[in-house]
A and B are shown apart, each in its own frame.
Chain A
Amino acid sequence: MASDDLRAASDAQLVVSIGRFRQDALAEAYRRHAGAAFGLALRILRERTLAEEIVQDVFLRLWNDPERFDPGRGSLRAYLLAQTHGRAVDLLRAEVARKHREERDARRTPVPADDLEREVWELTLAEQVRGALEQLSSDERDAIGLAYFGGHSYREVASLLGAPEGTVKSRIRSGLGRLRQSLVATGYVEDAGPWAEN
């Protein structure tokens, strides 16, 4: 596949090319998805240096283990963002980030629902995604926001919100389900999935 063709290649084709040691294919994957990965890592860690390290690690892993990406399971973007999120949250929870997190916890307790709503909205520049988030209740947005961007476990979220753990699990599940339904309705994803009906 010529370098010019990589721009038009699907993510799956890109990963195949990466598996054949095509550095230009990795560069194209970086062009497409590094911004989102960096933005997510930066949002979670709030430090550019750490965010850059996370993104570097994620793309080097893609280079070294391209076969871990299964195009039948979802998009390359979702795969890279899941990798980014996991590593960023691990780092956030590590000893070196504990101090910053405690400061954020102090600011968040008690947490006005309006503040969290604005925080999540700041991150979603796409109008369609904002519209999908409007379908969620504030409880659902709070739970998802604290877990996804705050790096909190669902038990910590329950403690922060003063809600039962089971309730928080349900809010995260129902919130993601309704978010997916909205994304299906707007054509961003293909199928709502059997679990999204909740």
Chain B
Amino acid sequence: MGRELMPEELRELLAAYALDAVTDPEELAALEAFLARDEQARQELADLRETASFLAYVDEEAPASLWERIESSLGARPPRLTLRLPTPDSVVSSPGRRRGVAQWWRAAAAVAAAAALGVIVYQQVEVSDQAGRIDHLAASVADRGLAQAARAAAMDSRSHALMLVSRDQTMRAKTVMMPDGTGYLMENDLPPLTRTHTYQMWAITGDPLRPTYVSLGILGRDPDVSAFRADGPVLGFAVTVEEMPGVTAPHHVPVVEGRFA
């Protein structure tokens, strides 16, 4: 083909493309680049495919045995993963190792928050196989500190618990936050996600009528206990599902959310 196609020519090709009737590699590459940069073209293609689907309006019944084969191929639910973070003793070095319970807990929370940030930075370096890297981190870290820190916070009389709930009330996630902003996502029934997505936690701040969502970090695709730190006044928390490696602002409606009274 050689020359670059003009937008009008590419639009002319969209209908044939919608019918899978474009096979020239150069035309296909030009169309795909056009679609990647032109929202109107993408919508037009969606409309064309919607229209074409009516051509296939046939009264045919799929074989019952076919569903049985599909059902048997679905496989088991993926195993739950636990994102575990380093214990204070293994990461935080301090000349004096005399720590009271409260100080140990604060150190664990600080380490957890720093490790979560490190996870985010680490994952921004490599785009591929992000879920595998979280799994690797989870498997490589001791499991004592975070869960204990979360339980201690929950029992602390100064903490504030907040239950995040989905709109249909089918999913819940418990959060606990201390006065200094450290907090934990604890018991939750968030279902595991595919490897290309992650849960991300947000602090709801600012005007209650027009709140701002501030990222508190990604939680992985199957969070267990997770630590976070929220600085400043917080109206509540929310969790969204985002594409790996996470986003700077929510791209989707929260799957669970809660506001302090």
Q: A78, B77: Cβ atoms under 8 Å?
A: no
Using CB atoms and an 8 Å cutoff, list the residues of chain B in contact with chain A: 11-16, 18-24, 40, 42-44, 46-63, 66-67, 69-71, 73-74, 77, 168, 170, 191-194, 196-197
Q: A67, B15: Cβ atoms under 8 Å?
A: no
Chain B residues, CB < 8 A from A147: 16, 19-21
Q: B60, A38: Cβ atoms under 8 Å?
A: yes
Q: A85, B52: Cβ atoms under 8 Å?
A: yes
Shortest distance in angstroms between B51's beta carbon and chain A's nearest beta carbon? 4
Proximity bits, A53-94, B CB within 8 Å = 1, else 0: 001100110011101000001110111011011100110010
Shortest distance in angstroms between A192's beta carbon and chain B's nearest beta carbon? 8
Q: Could you list 21 examples of A-B contacts with CB < 8 Å?
A: A19-B191, A19-B194, A23-B74, A27-B71, A35-B59, A38-B63, A38-B66, A40-B56, A59-B70, A73-B42, A125-B57, A129-B54, A129-B57, A147-B16, A148-B55, A149-B55, A154-B21, A169-B16, A179-B55, A193-B47, A195-B14
Interface of B: prevailing SS: helix
Q: Which residue of A lies closest to B21 (CB)?
A: A147
Question: Would you call A96 an interface residue if the criterion is a C-beta within 8 Å of the partner chain's C-beta atoms?
Answer: no
Q: Which residue of A lies closest to B171 (CB)?
A: A20
Chain B residues, CB < 8 A from A169: 12-13, 15-16
Chain A residues, CB < 8 A from B168: 1
Question: Would you call A173 an interface residue if the criterion is a C-beta within 8 Å of the partner chain's C-beta atoms?
Answer: yes
Q: A67, B56: Cβ atoms under 8 Å?
A: no
Q: A179, B19: Cβ atoms under 8 Å?
A: no
Using CB atoms and an 8 Å cutoff, list the residues of chain A in contact with chain B: 1, 19-21, 23, 26-27, 30, 34-40, 42-43, 48, 52, 55-56, 59-60, 63-65, 67, 73-75, 77-79, 81-82, 84-86, 89-90, 93, 120, 123-126, 129, 132, 144, 147-149, 151-155, 157, 166, 168-170, 172-173, 175-177, 179-180, 183, 188-189, 191, 193-196
Contact of A120 among B13, B55, B74, B191 (CB under 8 A): B55
Q: A195, B70: Cβ atoms under 8 Å?
A: no
Given contacts A176-B51, A183-B51, contact A39 B191 (CB under 8 A): no
Q: A173, B15: Cβ atoms under 8 Å?
A: yes
Chain A residues, CB < 8 A from B44: 193-195
Given contacts A129-B57, A147-B16, A180-B47, contact A60 B52 (CB under 8 A): no
A30 and B60 CA atoms in complex are apart in Å by 13
Chain B residues, CB < 8 A from A56: 66, 69-70, 73
Shortest distance in angstroms between B211's beta carbon and chain A's nearest beta carbon? 24
Q: A195, B59: Cβ atoms under 8 Å?
A: no
Q: B170, A148: Cβ atoms under 8 Å?
A: no
Contact of B58 among A40, A154, A180, A183 (CB under 8 A): A40
Contact of B60 among A36, A151, A195 (CB under 8 A): A36
Chain B residues, CB < 8 A from A73: 42-43, 46
Shortest distance in angstroms between B221's beta carbon and chain A's nearest beta carbon? 12
Q: A36, B57: Cβ atoms under 8 Å?
A: yes
Chain A residues, CB < 8 A from B18: 82, 176
Shortest distance in angstroms between B69's beta carbon and chain A's nearest beta carbon? 6
Q: A85, B56: Cβ atoms under 8 Å?
A: yes
Shortest distance in angstroms between A161's beta carbon and chain B's nearest beta carbon? 13
Q: B62, A170: Cβ atoms under 8 Å?
A: no
Q: Which residue of B lies closest to A132 (CB)?
A: B54
Chain B residues, CB < 8 A from A144: 19, 55
Given contacts A27-B67, A30-B70, contact A65 B55 (CB under 8 A): no
Please indicate which of the listed interface residues B11, B56, B77, B197 has the most CB atoms of chain A within 10 Å of its own CB: B56
Chain A residues, CB < 8 A from B20: 85-86, 89-90, 147, 151
